[in-house]
């Protein structure tokens, strides 16, 4: 190499050494790396990290040998302002030849043979390439472990926070959530598995299940606390809702009484009251010894049942009055058909007249059979229109 080539190569190698040193410092300060250095690992993670540590040990040995060569080259360059031919040759060998000596590493006795271990000689470029490969082995292991921790530990933290909140709500209510001790034990087991063996811990299905159960339990207890605090007001509102049910059922009974004399109704059309059963359920809830979680569920059911009973009674009354409207609509259709019959000269037709008389008798009888009356009106209409309705 020329003097200019040597100087250029030394500057480039110095920059390279500084960059590598910075990367190694970043590696040592990496949070996951620092955690793993003192961690108790097992399973797949222990094996993966052991392999990564072998790569790391080789990386440091390569780096020490690499830096030693550069240090020798810099000392030769600094010794004289103008390099001799011999010095240029020596520097060329250091910078471009197989100048990096990597001593054979001592192995555990179970991995040794009786033959001597051979040292390695590498160029600076080959040394950097091997350092890069070892560095990538270590960072790959770090990334894989870190990815698992970053995925699973926050979820475990969230589940743990929900568990602590549930314990607080249990104290507020003076009640215990079913199965919580089992879930707490499972969480501890999963956390230990994730911390010690993130690569081999197949905890996600169990974590999904435990998280769902904790979330559901927390929601139940939060609702129970609200119900306990607000029970008096909600009970008062429920009493008002039951009054609305009574009023709606009374209207349905009145409608049935008014309609049954006009329209023939089946026995099942008789309105049935639900208010007594709902009132009894509310009274039973007042003296219940159930937990507030169960009482909260039952109170919500009663509120829904009361609203449904009132709506059902209102619908029944409307339907009953609608039967009278249906009868009146059929009467109107029959009258319109009679006018049409006169226009078509069928007013004296014996068949049409008979059908009209039958339909009129059904519609003006009390109680009226709507099904038969509707069929009779259809028959009369078809007769007037020549067999088509």
Read off the pLDDT of residues 284-318 as tens digits, 9 standing for 90 and up: 988 888 888 888 889 999 999 999 999 999 999 99
Q: How high is the pLDDT of residue 61?
A: 94
Residues 10 and 140 in one domain: yes
Read off the pLDDT of residues 77-89 as tens digits, 9 standing for 90 and up: 887 767 778 888 8
Residues 7 and 94 in one domain: yes
Range of the domain at 275: 229-321
d(CA 39, CA 19) in angstroms, rounded, equals: 29
Which residues contact residue 203 at a Cβ distance below 8 angstroms, ignoring those fewer than 6 apart? 152, 190, 193, 194
Indicate the pTM of the whole model. 0.60
Read off the pLDDT of residues 349-367 as tens digits, 9 standing for 90 and up: 899 999 999 999 999 999 9
Q: What phi and psi, each to the nearest 5 degrees, are found at residue 263?
A: -125, 135
Range with lowest mean pLDDT among 120-129, 155-164, 173-182, 245-254 = 173-182
In the chain, how many domains are there? 4
Residues 10 and 132 in one domain: yes
Residues 78 and 54 in one domain: yes
Q: Is residue 244, in this structure, part of any structural domain at all?
A: yes
Q: Is residue 96, in this structure, part of any structural domain at all?
A: yes
**Which sign does the torsion angle of CA 375, 376, 381, 385 carry?**
positive
Residues 51 and 131 in one domain: yes
Which residues contact residue 186 at a Cβ distance below 8 angstroms, ignoring those fewer than 6 apart? 206, 210
Residues 124 and 24 in one domain: yes
Nearest to 94 by CA among 158, 31, 10, 38: 10
Among 175, 210, 226, residue at a domain's last position: 226
Q: Is residue 389, in this structure, part of any structural domain at all?
A: no
Residues 54 and 100 in one domain: yes
- Mean of the pLDDT values across residues 138-155? 95
Residues 22 and 67 in one domain: yes
Residues 142 and 169 in one domain: no
Q: How high is the pLDDT of residue 279?
A: 94
Model confidence at 337: pLDDT above 80: yes
Q: Following DSSP, what letter does each residue of 24-50 receive, concatenated?
A: HHHHHH-HHHHHHHT----HHHHHHHH
Percent of the chain with pLDDT over 90: 67
């Amino acid at each position: 190499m020329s003097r200019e080539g040597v100087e250029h190569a030394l500057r480039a190698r110095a920059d390279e050494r500084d960059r590598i040193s910075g990367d190694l410092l970043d590696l040592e300060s990496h949070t996951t790396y620092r955690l793993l250095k003192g961690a108790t690992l097992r399973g797949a993670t222990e094996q993966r990290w052991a392999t990564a540590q072998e790569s790391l040990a080789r990386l440091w040995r390569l780096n020490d040998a690499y830096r030693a060569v550069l240090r020798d080259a810099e000392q030769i360059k600094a010794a004289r302002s103008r390099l001799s031919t011999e010095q240029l040759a020596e520097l060329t060998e250091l910078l471009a030849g197989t100048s990096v000596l990597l001593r054979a590493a001592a192995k555990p006795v179970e991995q040794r043979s009786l033959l001597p271990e051979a040292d390695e000689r590498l160029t600076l470029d080959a040394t950097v390439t091997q350092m890069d490969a070892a560095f990538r082995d270590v960072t790959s292991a770090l990334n894989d472990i870190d990815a698992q921790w970053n995925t699973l530990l926050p979820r475990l933290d969230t589940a743990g926070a929900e568990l602590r909140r549930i314990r607080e709500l249990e104290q507020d209510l003076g009640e215990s959530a079913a199965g919580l001790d089992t879930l707490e034990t499972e969480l501890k087991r999963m956390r230990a598995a994730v911390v010690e063996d993130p690569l081999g811990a197949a905890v996600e299905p169990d974590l999904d299940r435990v998280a769902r159960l904790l979330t559901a339990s927390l929601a139940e207890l939060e609702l129970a606390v609200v119900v306990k605090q607000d029970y008096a007001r909600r009970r008062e509102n429920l009493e008002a809702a039951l009054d609305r049910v009574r009023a709606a059922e009374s209207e349905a009974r009145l409608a049935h009484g008014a309609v049954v004399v006009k329209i023939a109704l089946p026995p099942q059309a008789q309105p049935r009251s639900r208010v007594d059963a709902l009132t009894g359920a509310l009274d039973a809830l007042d003296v219940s010894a159930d937990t507030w979680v169960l009482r909260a569920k039952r109170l919500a059911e009663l509120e829904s049942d009361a609203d449904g009973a009132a709506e059902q009674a209102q619908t029944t009354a409307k339907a009953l009055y609608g039967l009278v409207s249906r009868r009146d609509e059929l009467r109107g259709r029959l009258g319109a058909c009679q006018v049409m019959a006169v226009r078509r000269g069928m007013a004296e037709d014996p068949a049409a007249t008979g059908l009209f008389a039958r339909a009129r008798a059904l519609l003006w009888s009390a109680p009226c059979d709507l099904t038969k009356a509707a069929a009779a009106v259809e028959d009369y209409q078809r007769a007037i229109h020549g067999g088509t309705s």
